[in-house]
Amino acid sequence: MLRPYMPAEERPVTQEERLARRAELRADIHRLEVELEGLREAELRLLDGCEHAYADGRSAGAGGQMRICAICGRVLKHRDEKLWG
C-alpha cells in the first residue's frame, strides 16, 4: 500500500536529510559568495571613475599624495589637474 505524501514539516527530519540540506546550503552559500565577490569588484570598478565634486565644482578629493573622495570615500588615483583647466 502506498503511503500518503506527508509535507516535510509534519514528519521528523532524518539526519541524512539534514546533511543533504546542509550540503545544499553550503553550495548556495559558496555560489553567493562568488557572486558577491563579483559584485564588489564591479562596484569598485564602477567607482574608479569617481567624479564627485563640491557644489563649487572643485573635485571632492581631499588630501595630499593620497587623495580620498570626501563624498564616496574612495581613494582616488592621482590625476593631472591641468586636464580640467
Residue 68 beta carbon to Zn ion: minimum distance, rounded to whole angstroms: 9
How many of the other CB atoms lie within 10 Å of CB of 62?
14
> Cβ neighbours of residue 50 under 8 Å, at least 6 residues apart?
69, 72, 74, 76
**Which of 29, 71 has the CB closer to Zn ion?**
71
**Which of 66, 71 has the CB closer to Zn ion?**
71
List contacts with Zn ion (CB under 5 A).
50, 52, 69, 71-72
Residue 75 beta carbon to Zn ion: minimum distance, rounded to whole angstroms: 10
**Which of 18, 63 has the CB closer to Zn ion?**
63
Residue 53 beta carbon to Zn ion: minimum distance, rounded to whole angstroms: 9
